[in-house]
Structure 1
Amino acid sequence: MKFVSALVVLAAFAAADAQSSFKLDGHEIQQVLADDKLYHQYFNCVMDKGKCTPDGQDLKDHIPDHLNGGCANCTPERKERAKTLVRFMVAKKNNDFEEFEKKYDPKHMMRKQYGQ
């Protein structure tokens, strides 16, 4: 019985984590995109070129969710933030986005799903 209870608790934590949303809200995302230094801190984190803040690590940890099935467990807000990030990078930081695609998304799934 204890084993079953432990499994239920673990499943609850896993479900809560799958539904967690990127800690930066839409307004803060716009601030990151408007500040080149801050943008590059996040980009360097995601690309394993620099240290990660907790928010940067959260962003990095959820990249596979967006590549595997369009992030079915993501909140609508997380999907909207992903679309904002991808569209920004495609339009204004295309070299960074191409580097990102080489590392994480050689099939261009995010560009197809969230791009312009």
Structure 2
Amino acid sequence: MKSFIVLCLFGLAAVALAKPNGSTYTDRYDNVNLDEILGNRRLLTPYIKCILEEGKCTADGKELKSHIREALEQNCAKCTDAQRSGTRRVLGHLINNEEESWNRLKAKYDPQSKYTVKYELELKKLKQ
């Protein structure tokens, strides 16, 4: 009985501490070193394979993959500032340096180019 009460209290605490209406994605992975990943194909390739569902995913890769479509469609509305900045850096890198991977990701997550065209127009101008 005591265990049940403790579980209920933890459950209520979790609900009370949760962000309302899922206002932002978790910030648990906001400190991932993007420069290290983007600068090393050995690190970047598994992330791309994860997102394309062609390979295993790390915990942060799974989190990323679970929100890609929604983030694209809603212009990263639930992203933290760090996620918005990181998204721009990663997309800019893919657009300018990983064209084949970028095209494959677009085909999977935005086959009609409803959302990605704006990123291409804006980020092709920025060189990494």
Gaps of 5+ in 1: none
User: Which structure features the higher share of helix residues?
Assistant: 1
Aligned with 2:93 (options 60, 66, 88): 88
Task: Please tell me whether residue 18 in structure 1 is matched to residue 20 in structure 2.
Answer: no
**2:123 corresponds to which letter in structure 1?**
G
**1:93 corresponds to which letter in structure 2?**
E
Q: Which residue of 2 aligns with 1:110?
A: 116
Q: What's the TM-score, normalizing by structure 2?
A: 0.72
Q: Please, which moves more after superposition, 16-25 or 85-94? A: 16-25
8 A Cα contact 2:24 2:80, kept in partner: no
Gaps of 5+ in 2: 1-10
**2:116 corresponds to which letter in structure 1?**
M
Among the aligned pairs, what percent are the same residue? 24
Mapped partners of 1:89, 1:98: distance in 2: 9
Question: Residue 10 and residue 50 in structure 1: after superposition, are their counterparts in 2 closer, same or farther (change >3 A)?
Answer: farther
Per-residue CA deviations over 1:51-93 (Å, capped at 9, x if unaligned) read 0000111111120232122021211110111111110001100
